Every structure is written in C-alpha cells, then in structure tokens.
Chain A
Amino acid sequence: MNRAADVHASDAREVCANAQLFVRNLKRSFPWVSIWPKLHILMHHAPDFLDLFGSIGLYGEQSIEAWHGFFTQNAAKYAVETEVGACANFVRAMAVAREASDAIFSTGARTPAEEGARTAKQAGDGRRRVKKGGPVECESTRE
C-alpha cells in the first residue's frame, strides 16, 4: 500500500481483500475492540482511492515532504512575489528540464566500482598477511 508506484490491478485486489479480511477478523475475534477511523479508511476508502488513482503511496505526504525539502534548497532560484507562484515556477522548471524524478533526491551517490576492480590481482594487493608474502615481524618487539 505504501509503495510509491502504480499498483497492478491484481495486487490492488489482494490488498483490498486483505484489508477487509483484517478488519472483519479483528471485529469478530475481539468484539470489544471499537473500529477506529483509520481502520474504516483502510477498509472502505483506501480501496476506492486505489481503484481511482492506481496508487496511494504516490500521493502520500512522504513524497511531498521530500519535494518540500528540495524546493526549500532551491527556492531562491524561482522566487516571485508569492510563494505559490514560486512553487509553480519550480514545478514548471523541473518538468521542462525533465528532472522531476526520484534521481534528484539521491545527491552525492557514489557509482559502484567496475566488476572485478576490487579483487586482488597480485600477491601484494590484499591486506591479509598471507597475501603479503609470509609472516610480518612486528618492529616494536624486535630486540
């Protein structure tokens, strides 16, 4: 349910069925438990939203919070007389630059090393003593 991606119809049906079963089981097994609003939303409205928009996680507040952080970092570049106007400018610029993707949030990510780049090729490459050509005598204990 929390996945920030379009949910496949079969997955959506499974989630909805599980949600209904979960709430009904809870009420049948423990009748003294009162159904609270979040359970009601999970049972009745989350499936409708999933049907209508294809995802819940995509429209959740977590992605908006991430966008908010990114906007705050770059607000000075898109400043106009109103903040909503600045937001619109920001979204427009992101859409034009084709940067409106998750990739912009992974700042400073290191690219992985090529395959085999870190394997020892020569006798002295490894850090273990066996790879450095026999035992090493500690200088401090030598008398």
Chain B
Amino acid sequence: MLGEHLDQVAQLVLEGVVVGGVRRAGRLLMSGDYEALCTVHGHKGPNAAMPCLMCFCERARSRTHAALNGIYGTMQDVDAPAPAHARTSAHLVSMAARADVPANDQSQAALRLITRPPLFWGDPCQIVHIPLHILLGITLPLLRLDIELVISCRGRPVASSFSYELVEKLRRVVRVRPAPYHGGVFIGRVCHAIAQRSDVIFRALLSLVAESDHVAYKRLWVLWRGI
C-alpha cells in the first residue's frame, strides 16, 4: 500500500513544500508501531537477533553470534556506554542496491537483519520512538514482573490468586480498566494512573515477597513515574 506513494513522498522530501510563495524544507520522521517500521526498513522483525532499528546491538549473547556480540555488544549489557555502532542510511542504501544485483555474501554480518529491500533509506536517527508504545511496553511488563516475583517467592497457586487480587485492586482502587482494543490491555492515561497509584501494588505485594525484592520493585515504579 505504501509502495504506491513512495515516489510522491520522496519528491516531497526532496523538494519540500511551498507555503505562501516560500519553499520550506521537509523532513521525514518515521513513526509507527515496531512491526510497521520493520516492514518499511526491510528489517526481519522485532524478534530477530538484532531487533533495534537504530543500532546493531544484539538481543542477547549467543554462541553462534559470538563474533558479532563482541563487535556490537548486546542489549543485556546495561552498564556499557551507548551503542557505538548506529545503523546508517548508507547501509540501507546498500541493502536496497542488493535487490537489483544480489550479492554472494548473505551472512548475518553483511545483512545485519535487513532481509528485504528497504522502502526508505532515511537516517535511522530520525525514527521516532513511539512514546505511546513505550508506555504500554514498559507498564505492562512491570505489572507482569510483580506476578513473576510472587511466583518465584511463593509458587504458582499463590501467584494465581494474587493476580486476581491485583486486577481487582486496579479496578476498584485505581479505577482503571483495560481497553477493548490494542489486545485488551491497559493503554495511555490508564498507564499513567497506574504509575501514580503504584502504592496500591506495593501494599498488595508487601507480605508476599522478600523485603529486598519489594524495595527494588518499589524503586522501579518510582523511577518509572519520573520518566
């Protein structure tokens, strides 16, 4: 569907827009959900070994990718400084060129998870980081972490009843409910409300997990509220 408009978008970026007799430059900032951005950039997908669209960072250490791990680092190295190997538009251009003249080198190191010809080859630093999806993508795993902590400390049966109790508290005390779309999860302002009233979650968790885990979990919510 996007293919039909590619030339026009490219022309718009190249020539800009004339407003009141003055030509203004256009800048293309790519935004959308992860799947859509992967499609546009020809990336293999969010579950690939190099899931980031902005850098060549690998998901986790593995024996098969040991050499690439050494060069690009992994997402799990949180104490490492910012990734030094950012994706560039030059790499996307070279990947687009491969569609016309297939190269012999099909290795992971050469392709770096760009498996289809990209539709655009703008600078990857202009990809917008989908704030809405980041909000969902962090609030929900934090709630899941809560249940996982109870599973690790008290076992599955207790965690199961705790999860129902947590849902009930979110509904009655925080007064939030999941949206009927987006996969039936908490979205948008509801996530902000959960972060604001996260004390309800700590209190429910207090007697079920170790003190150190409780403090660490509470600290995470406080930091997340600040972001």
Given contacts A38-B133, A38-B137, contact A22 B227 (CB under 8 A): yes
- Determine the distance from Cα of A24 to Cα of B80 in the docked complex, in whole angstroms: 10
- Determine the distance from Cα of A43 to Cα of B77 in the docked complex, in whole angstroms: 12
Cβ of B8 and Cβ of A85 under 8 Å apart? yes
**B145 at interface (Cβ–Cβ under 8 A)?**
yes
Q: What's the least CB distance linking A90 to chain B, in Å?
A: 11
Which chain A residues in 36-88 approach chain B with CB under 8 Å?
36-46, 48-49, 52, 56-57, 59-62, 64, 82-85, 88
Chain B residues, Cβ within 8 Å of A23: 78
**A111 at interface (Cβ–Cβ under 8 A)?**
no
**B94 at interface (Cβ–Cβ under 8 A)?**
no
Q: What's the least CB distance linking A45 to chain B, in Å?
A: 5
Stretch of A91-99, A102-110, A118-126 at the chain-chain interface: A91-99
Stretch of B29-37, B156-164, B171-179 at the chain-chain interface: B29-37
- Determine the distance from Cα of A58 to Cα of B39 in the docked complex, in whole angstroms: 23
**B46 at interface (Cβ–Cβ under 8 A)?**
yes
Stretch of B109-117, B200-208, B218-226 at the chain-chain interface: B218-226
Chain B residues, Cβ within 8 Å of A136: none
Cβ of B130 and Cβ of A60 under 8 Å apart? yes
Cβ of A84 and Cβ of B213 under 8 Å apart? no
Tell me the interface secondary structure of chain A in the complex: helix
Chain B residues, Cβ within 8 Å of A48: 82, 125
A20 to chain B: closest residue by CB: B78
Cβ of B78 and Cβ of A92 under 8 Å apart? no
Cβ of A35 and Cβ of B76 under 8 Å apart? yes
Residue of B83, B213, B227 near A1 (CB, 8 A) is: B227
Chain A residues, Cβ within 8 Å of B216: 25, 29-30
Cβ of A2 and Cβ of B131 under 8 Å apart? yes
B51 to chain A: closest residue by CB: A37
Cβ of A41 and Cβ of B227 under 8 Å apart? no
Chain A residues, Cβ within 8 Å of B46: 37
Q: What's the least CB distance linking B40 to chain A, in Å?
A: 14
Q: B68-86: contact bitstring with A at CB < 8 Å (1 yes, 0 no)? A: 0000000110110011000
Chain A residues, Cβ within 8 Å of B132: 2, 60-62
Cβ of B78 and Cβ of A38 under 8 Å apart? no
Cβ of B137 and Cβ of A18 under 8 Å apart? no
Cβ of B19 and Cβ of A59 under 8 Å apart? no
Q: B46-61: contact bitstring with A at CB < 8 Å (1 yes, 0 no)? A: 1000011011010110
B binding-site residues for A, Cβ under 8 Å? 5, 8-9, 12, 17-20, 29, 31-32, 34, 46, 51-52, 54-55, 57, 59-60, 75-76, 78-79, 82-83, 125, 128-135, 137-138, 141, 145, 149, 213, 216-217, 219-220, 223-224, 226-227
The 6 closest A-B pairs by CB, nearest first: A29-B216, A38-B137, A84-B8, A22-B223, A18-B226, A59-B128
> Can you list 15 pairs linking A and B with CB atoms under 8 Å apart?
A1-B227, A2-B135, A18-B227, A23-B78, A25-B216, A30-B213, A30-B216, A35-B76, A35-B78, A37-B46, A37-B52, A40-B75, A56-B129, A59-B29, A60-B130
Given contacts A42-B129, A43-B78, A44-B83, 11 further A-B contacts (CB under 8 A): A2-B131, A15-B226, A18-B227, A35-B76, A37-B75, A38-B134, A38-B138, A56-B129, A60-B132, A61-B130, A82-B5
